[in-house]
Amino acid sequence: MSVNYDVIIIGSGPAGMAAAQTLRRRGIHNIAILEREAHAGGVPRHCQHPTFGLLAFKRPMKGNQFAERIIKNLGDTPILTRSTVTQLQPNGVLTVTTPDGVVEMRAKRILIATGVRETPRHPRLVSGLRPQGILTAGALQQFVYLKGQKPCLNPVIVGSELVSFSALWTLKNAGVKAKAMIESGERILAFKPASLFAKAMGTPVYLKSKITEIGGLDRVEYVMVETAGEIRKIVCDSVIFTGGFVGENTLIRKSHLNFDASTGKPVTDQRSRCSDASYYAAGNMLHPADMGDQCYQEGVITGGYIADDLLANHHHMGVSQGKRLPIQFAEPIRFTVPACIDMSECMTEKVDFNIKVNTAITGTIRVMAGNTLLYEKRHRCLPTRRILLKNIDLTKIQASATEITVTVV
pLDDT at 347 over 70: no
The answer on 330 and 298 residing in a single domain is no
Angle between helices 14-25 and 292-312 (to 10 degrees): 40
* Digit-coded pLDDT (tens) for 355-395: 999 998 999 999 999 999 999 999 999 888 999 999 999 99
For residues 136 and 238, state if they share a domain.
yes
Same domain, 227 and 257: no
Q: What is the pLDDT of residues 126-182, one digit of tens each?
A: 877 789 999 999 999 999 999 999 999 999 999 999 999 999 999 999 999 999 999
pLDDT (average), residues 252-270: 95
We report the CATH number of the domain holding residue 53 as 3.50.50.60
Q: What is the CA radius of gyration of the chain?
A: 22
Domain total for the chain? 3
**By three-state DSSP, how is residue 225 classified?**
strand
Instruction: Say if residue 361 is in the same domain as residue 252.
Output: no
Please calculate the CA angle 138-142-144 and round it to the nearest 5 degrees: 115
Is the domain of 193 the same as that of 275?
Answer: no
Residue 314 has pLDDT above 60, yes or no: no
Q: Do 109 and 153 sit in the same domain of this protein?
A: no
Point out which residues pair with 109 in neighbouring strands: 7
Q: Among 221, 243, 265, which residue terminates a domain?
A: 243
Q: Are the CB atoms for 11 and 39 separated by under 8 Å? A: no
Q: Which of 321, 347, 380 finishes a domain?
A: 321
How far apart CA 139 and CA 113 sit, in angstroms, is 21
d(C-alpha 94, C-alpha 97), whole Å: 10
Backbone angles phi, psi at 73, to 5 degrees: -70, -10
Residues 238 and 252 reside in one and the same domain: no
Residue 177 and residue 134 share a domain: yes
Are 53 and 91 in the same domain?
Answer: yes
Would the CA dihedral through 331, 332, 334, 337 be positive or negative?
negative
Query: Strands 340-342 and 324-329, how do they pair?
Result: antiparallel
Query: Over the stretch 36-59, which tens digit does the pLDDT of each residue have?
Result: 999 999 999 999 889 999 999 999
CA 168: distance to chain centroid?
A: 21
List the CATH number of the domain containing 355. 2.60.40
Residue ranges of E strands in 114-241: 116-117, 134-136, 155-158, 180-182, 205-206, 209-215, 222-227, 230-235, 238-241
Domain boundary among 210, 228, 243: 243
Look up the domain containing 27 and give its range. 1-119+244-321
My answer on whether 276 and 351 are in the same domain is no
Say whether both 221 and 129 belong to one domain: yes
Which SS3 state, helix, strand or coil, does residue 41 take? Answer: coil
One domain, residues 163 and 239? yes
